[in-house]
Amino acid sequence: DQQVKQNSPSLSVQEGRISILNCDYTNSMFDYFLWYKKYPAEGPTFLISISSIKDKNEDGRFTVFLNKSAKHLSLHIVPSQPGDSAVYFCAARRRDDKIIFGKGTRLHILP
Amino acid sequence: KAGVTQTPRYLIKTRGQQVTLSCSPISGHRSVSWYQQTPGQGLQFLFEYFSETQRNKGNFPGRFSGRQFSNSRSEMNVSTLELGDSALYLCASSPDVLVGGITQYFGPGTRLTVL
């Protein structure tokens, strides 16, 4: 049973435009949500997180939105830059502190 | 500060063998977690160690085990290797136990291939 789903395996966005990466979850027992970015041959790098009691968190070009009623979160990157091309993982922390990751979305930023 | 280091970076084993992977966390970090990444399943949590104690465990068979030493370095062991164990094994460290918004810092991973 996949508790954290990233339904788009890949996404292509023009440089300078907004990239929107989506994530759905099924378990209401998650209390924190996190986004990680991964380049080939490197480990994931933490980007931004949001508590389940909030609906938005912003850090520079990155904003995460949480819609609890829809069990949906999204990561917005504005403006998209070439260095943003990577695989993005959505993760959720359960109240027993286990972390569940989605399968990732590969973002391609087009020149 | 040096990042999380994992050794070896690449490993080839045959079915039935066992393997030990090593992880050195960022200096001062006391929590170490292990993950398995495969194309089909994405990143899956294996276990978390804090102060030499296993604090949490994912849904993996008993062939997967780990330990943490007093200097916070950690090892994971996989016995009786199966073809399906071929994966990238990632180690992550954090300053404290994984609660709330505390973040983890990942190493580059060990690529294990089982033939």
pLDDT over 80 at B53, yes or no: yes
Q: Is the pLDDT of residue B1 over 70?
A: no
Query: Are A104 and B4 a contacting pair at CB < 8 A?
Result: no
pLDDT in tens, A56-104: 999 999 999 999 999 999 999 999 999 999 999 999 988 877 889 999 9
Residue A17 has, within 13 A of its CA and on its CB side, a CA count of: 12
The mean pLDDT value for B3-20 works out to 96
Strand (E) or helix (H) holding A20: strand A19-25
Segment 23-82 of chain A within 8 Å of chain B by CB: 31-32, 34, 36, 41-46, 49, 51
* Averaged pLDDT, B69-77: 96
Is A98 an 8 Å CB contact of chain B? Answer: yes
Q: Count the residues in chain A.
A: 111
pLDDT of residue B39: 80
Question: Using an 8 Å Cβ cutoff, are B89 and B35 in contact?
Answer: yes
- In this prediction, residue B32 carries a pLDDT of 95
Where residue A41 falls among pLDDT bands split at 50, 70, 90?
confident
Query: Picking from A11-20, A90-99, B53-62, B92-101, which range would have the lowest pLDDT averaged per residue?
Result: B92-101
**Averaged over B25-44, what is the pLDDT?**
91
Mean pLDDT throughout B98-110? 84
pLDDT given at position B5: 96
Integer Cα distance of B91 and A53 in angstroms:
29
SS3 A19: strand
DSSP A54-107: -SEEEETTEEEEEETTTTEEEEEESS--GGG-EEEEEEEEETTS-EEE---EEE
pLDDT, residue B114, reads: 96
**Beta carbon pairs, A and B, within 8 Å:** 55
| Run of H or E including B64 | strand B64-68
pLDDT score, position B31: 93
**Contacts of the segment B63-68: beta carbons below 8 A, 24+ positions apart:** B66/B34, B68/B32
Collect all residues with Cβ–Cβ distance below 8 Å to B16 and sequence separation of at least 6: B80, B81
Among B58, B106, B109, select the one facing A98 at the smallest CB separation: B58
Percent share of chain A, pLDDT over 70: 99
Q: Is A101's CB within 8 Å of B45's CB?
A: yes
With beta carbons under 8 A apart, name residues in chain B contacting A46: 103-105
Mean predicted confidence (pLDDT) in A16-25: 97
Locate the chain A residue with the closest alpha carbon to B3: A43
